[in-house]
Amino acid sequence: MTERIGAIKLPVNRLHMELTNVCNFSCEFCPDSKMRRQRGFMPLEMAKSILDDVGRTGIAKLVLFHVMGEPTLHPHFIDIVRYAKHKNVDVCITTNGSHMEKEVLNALIQAKVKQVILSLQTPDGNTFSMRGARGVSFEDYAEYTTFIARTFMNNGHHSKLTIHFLSSPLRKLIIPIAKEFCIADTSKKITSVSKDMGRKDTEGDWL
């Protein structure tokens, strides 16, 4: 498919699909608190209809389940991921990781999602307070993050895991960090830099 709609060349590289604008975090560096739209979840049939169109027309190379909100909170999140695979639609999920239980992780791996972006952002208990996480302690969050990374490293060979670490424009105000890290590092880059900094591995509290 190579067409144009005005100046837009098709297929577009990515199509953002907001499954929900509900989030269980309230990060100080996110505009969520300024949003005035009604909170809610995309109906399952609407999600399927969009994926039907993308699969049929090939209008987008990649569908990103991300605008505002935490997509894994959607009550039919796993069904939608599986439906995308059924329609041969490549998807990317951006998540804070707090609801990535084993069932969700297994579903993503089995569906061979193209990419999972884990929005880690804050590396310790003090800075984690900026996330406004409701019902999630820093210790639990550290365990979630480690579990997610290890699961994908061991089993998610068809998926790319990207860890966004201090990717907010406010990152310099959050915590000093080695200048070698770029704004959005993948686990592979972090591993490489960590070795250069003299660490044996990255299997501590943060991968």
Assigned domain for 169 exists? yes
Residue 182 lies in a domain: yes
Counted domains in the chain? 1
**What CATH number has the domain bearing residue 128?**
3.20.20.70
Q: Domain residues for 141?
A: 3-196
Three-state SS at 123: coil
- Is residue 150 domain-resident? yes
pLDDT of residue 168: 52
Report the side by side order of strands in the sheet with 115-119. 15-16, 63-65, 91-95, 115-119, 160-164
**Complete DSSP assignment for 54-105:** HHHH--BS-EEE-SSS-GGGSTTHHHHHHHHHHTT--EEEEE-STT--HHHH
- Confirm if 19 and 69 have CB atoms less than 8 A apart: yes
| 96 lies in some domain | yes
**CA geometry: angle 108, 106, 149, nearest 5 deg:** 80
CA–CA separation, 42 and 31 (whole Å): 20
DSSP state of 38: P
Residue 179: the pLDDT is: 44
Cα 19 to chain centroid distance, Å, stands at 13
How many angstroms separate the CA atoms of 113 and 130, rounded? 30
Q: Residue 71 to residues 5, 109, 135: CA-CA distances in angstroms? A: 29, 16, 18
Residue 202 lies in a domain: no
Alpha-carbon torsion 19, 20, 25, 26, what sign? Answer: positive
Task: Tell me, yes or no, whether 119 lies in a domain.
Answer: yes
Instruction: Answer whether residue 89 is part of any domain.
Output: yes
206 domain residue, yes or no: no
Question: Tens place of pLDDT for every residue, the chain, 207 residues?
Answer: 567 777 778 888 889 999 998 888 877 777 667 778 888 999 999 999 999 999 999 989 999 998 888 899 999 999 999 999 999 999 999 888 888 888 888 899 889 899 988 887 777 777 777 777 877 788 888 888 888 888 888 886 788 888 877 655 544 444 444 444 444 444 455 455 445 544 444 443 333
pLDDT score for 166 = 63
What contacts 199, CB < 8 A, 6 or more positions away? none
Separation CA 157–CA 109 (nearest Å): 8
